[in-house]
């Protein structure tokens, strides 16, 4: 009987820790698209967060991609019972190239995030226009879909 109480208690603890909203804490996952990247998100308030990416660009030549954004989330813009938010915000992108054709630019990330109830994940889709400023001015676009697991 005592072992059963311990098991029930452990199940309740696990499920209660999964019921938090992912508008807090730190999440880590993957972004599939251009670039394919490891994605991280750190919430600063219930409506703002830092978003980071470290990835590899599958273009004609090898490139490492690093970006960081400061995101603002607008909740309840859709008439739904699901937790779907629009997010947007400024950021920076560094693209390192194997032949010293590296680039530094600014980006503006826009996306949608779905935060399912009772699961420590978020699922997102985003687009980010980019204006490279170093070594020359040029325009590009990043985008993809992803999922992150949140640790709390």
pLDDT at residue 1, rounded to an integer: 43
Averaged over 135-148, what is the pLDDT?
A: 93
DSSP string, 112-126: EEE--TTSSEEEEEE
pLDDT at residue 61, rounded to an integer: 63
Structural domains for the chain: 2-151 (2.40.160.20)
Burial of 109 (0-12, 13-18, 19+ CB in 10 A): buried
The three-class DSSP label of residue 18 is coil
**Dist CA 138 CA 44 (whole Å):** 32
- Whether the CB-CB separation of 91 and 101 falls below 8 Å is answered with no
Averaged over 60-69, what is the pLDDT?
A: 84
Residue 59: is its pLDDT beyond 70? no
């Amino acid at each position: 009987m005592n072992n059963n109480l311990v098991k029930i208690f452990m199940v309740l603890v696990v499920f209660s820790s999964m019921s938090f909203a992912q508008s807090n804490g730190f999440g880590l996952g993957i972004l599939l698209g251009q670039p394919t990247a490891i994605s991280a998100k750190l919430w600063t308030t219930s409506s703002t967060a830092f978003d980071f990416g470290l990835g590899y660009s599958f273009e004609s030549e090898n490139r490492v991609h690093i970006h960081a954004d400061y995101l603002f989330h607008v909740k309840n813009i859709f008439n739904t019972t699901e937790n779907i938010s629009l997010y947007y915000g400024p950021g920076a992108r560094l693209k390192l190239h194997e032949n010293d054709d590296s680039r530094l630019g600014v980006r503006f990330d826009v996306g949608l995030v779905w935060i399912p109830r009772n699961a420590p994940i978020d699922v997102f889709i985003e687009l980010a226009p980019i204006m490279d400023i170093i070594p020359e001015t040029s325009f590009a676009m990043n985008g993809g879909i992803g999922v992150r697991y949140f640790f709390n």
